[in-house]
Amino acid sequence: MQISDVRIRAAAVFICLMRNLRATISGVSVLFMATLLATAADRPPDTDNFGLSGPVHTINSTVEKLAPDPRNRPLVSLWTACGNCSFDRRGNFISRAQVSDGAVETEHLEVDSDAQGWPTEERSYGDDGALLSRTVFHNGPYGPLDSESWSGGRQISRSQNVYDEHGRTIVSRTWNESGLSVEVLTHWDEHDQNVK
């Protein structure tokens, strides 16, 4: 083999290595970006709040008084957050009604969600089935950015959330019919602890 052949082969090997390195770096950067986007969009399903995992469609809860309270003072209502709840295939609320003093309340809430599980619309219905209120959400990758609530054809409140680059809420504002009613500014430390 001559020196020029060795140089040509060495150059060819170097070019192949560089192509492979470029493809590897490109693949790693695509994987990194996909991981970031997937992490931003991940949201624990509502069923997690009840300690449930796997496919769950409906929860029915009951509350029962075993004996009357002999004390002569106002009683604490026996209550559960999910008297009759239905979930979609991802584990997010479709509808929910509460149980109070042993009976499922006929007032209930229906929820529509986006592909990440964030609510897009909530509708509250009264005992007679009439629409009481409606809330529309506009979402970003970390959750609701703003929402507007309506009752009886008039806007009763609106909310706005601002998130940092890690998906943590840093500003939350709520307005009622009179104007800005609540503003919460949150600061986070390097350990993801809420410091204010």
Q: Tokens 């950015």 identify what position?
A: 145
pLDDT at 39: 42
Asked whether the predicted pLDDT for residue 91 surpasses 50, the reply is: yes
**Given CA atoms 19, 21, 22, 28 in this order, what sign does their dihedral have?**
positive
**Mean pLDDT in residue range 59-72:** 70
Q: Give the pair of three-digit tokens for residue 28.
A: 């790693």
Asked whether the predicted pLDDT for residue 5 surpasses 60, the reply is: no
pLDDT at 99: 66
pLDDT at 26: 42
**Strand boundaries in 64-178, DSSP class E:** 79-87, 93-100, 103-104, 108-113, 119-125, 131-140, 143-151, 154-163, 169-176
For the question of whether the overall pTM of this predicted structure is more than 0.85, the answer is no
pLDDT at 40: 43
Average pLDDT over the chain reads 75
Nearest-angstrom CA–CA distance, 180 and 186: 17
Nearest-angstrom CA–CA distance, 90 and 52: 12
What would the DSSP string read from start to end of 128-149?
Answer: TS-EEEEEEEEEETTEEEEEEE
State the pLDDT confidence band at 140, using cuts at 50, 70 and 90. Answer: very high
Asked whether the predicted pLDDT for residue 28 surpasses 50, the reply is: no
pLDDT at 42: 66
Asked whether the predicted pLDDT for residue 84 surpasses 90, the reply is: no
